[in-house]
Amino acid sequence: MAVGRLAVLLPVFVDLGLAFVAFLATFKLIRSISSKFVKAGLHGRDLNKTSKEPVPEALGVIAGAVYLVTMFVFIPVPFLVHLWTQDGPDPHEKFDDFVSALLSICCMIFLGFSDDVLNLPWRHKLTLPTIASLPLLMAYVVNIGSTTIIIPKPLRLLLGFSVDLGLLYYVYMGMLAVFCTNSINILAGINGVEAGQSLIIAMSIAVFNMCELSGDYGSMHLFSLYIVLPFVGVTAALLYHNWYPSSVFVGDTFCYFAGMTFAVVGILGHFSKTVLLFFIPQIINFIYSVPQLFRLVPCPRHRLPKYDPPSDRLGMSFAQFKKTELNVVGRLIIWILQLFRLASVQTDIGEDNNEMRINNLTLINFIIKLCGPMKEQNVTIFILCLQVAGSVLAFLIRYRLSLVFYDT
């Protein structure tokens, strides 16, 4: 029993040590290399500050590179421990999972950095994660292959105990990868929010994995823990530099890297529904943003909150457009948003009173609508508190409410 426990715990402790080393490496590399990004032209200006100093962009690529190196160093550890102890779960069946997981993550880091450099259009941001998830899906087919879902208790009389979704299940997993990568990318734009939300989600997943190690799917949660711990390390270091006032921008590179990491652990760890529970704020932000994302309501290129230099606070940003630009669906959506006071809408503006404007439909703007103009760091803290509350709610749903719908 002691040897078996050692075979499980020793790789975890090694992974924790490597995660700490990854934190230190990322911390020091960002500090020493960020100036080279400015020289290479990878920089921007923080629109929420009065300073016009260039801020290095796409520093998420450093976090991603350190993460990959850390995982390459770690991969032999579970195999060596198993050979040494001749006990514990056989890690050989997980080798394909390791390779496919890191291949998908590596692809997304590359594609994210390409987006930061080339500024790819949105249609590519939807298709590229799908392509990058193919190695992940192939590993799932080979090593797991289950496409059956358990039906909730209230629907079992109608649909039975379980349903085999077949190809639709793989479509769902591909869409999960797209959602995870882009949902973090659209809840962004202020210092610390991308790295902060990702860190909280990763820590929530790690806690969930540790709670499930003794369960029926313990080996899958152990694999997830191997993947997520080094991610916590590199993200914590990146958050330090990206916290208000930010000295670096994480870029789309980090958003894609983080999203694919979460998709990897959700799919190969076989707990994709639980991963989505940890994305409650991102789901709310996505639903609220749908009218602009799908162009039902005019959407400007940037939906950042508006910075007011005299007060050093962030206010709502608006999309202004002619009334004729709205179709019937767009008018209906704005009417519903007005009815439930979910948006600030102003009509009959412009020279001929034929224009209107609506606050950009993001969770950040909605928070400012409710609370009034806020300091940038306070907005970030508010969102991160929502993220923590979302994780607490996720655990309550997973371990309490789920018993109403499922047997265990």
Confidence of residue 12 (pLDDT cuts 50, 70, 90): very high
**Quick check: 1 pLDDT over 70?**
no
The better pLDDT of the pair 200, 133 is held by 200
First-residue to last-residue Cα distance in the chain: 26
Average pLDDT over residues 7-25: 92
**Quick check: 4 pLDDT over 70?**
no
CA pair distance 210, 200, nearest whole angstrom: 15
**Quick check: 91 pLDDT over 70?**
no
**Quick check: 389 pLDDT over 80?**
yes
Tell me, what's the pLDDT at 156?
85
Confidence of residue 2 (pLDDT cuts 50, 70, 90): very low
In whole numbers, what is the pLDDT of the chain averaged over residues?
Answer: 91
Angle, helix 280-293 to helix 167-186, in steps of 10 degrees: 90
CA distances from 44 to 29, 47, 215, 248 (A): 20, 9, 48, 9
Tell me, what's the pLDDT at 130?
84
Confidence of residue 357 (pLDDT cuts 50, 70, 90): very high
**Quick check: 39 pLDDT over 90?**
yes
Q: Which of 30, 18, 94, 86 is nearest to 62 (CA)?
A: 30
Contact 344, 369 (CB under 8 A): yes
Question: pLDDT per residue over 40-63, tens digit each?
Answer: 999 999 999 988 899 999 999 999
Average pLDDT over residues 80-87: 69
Tell me, what's the pLDDT at 352?
81
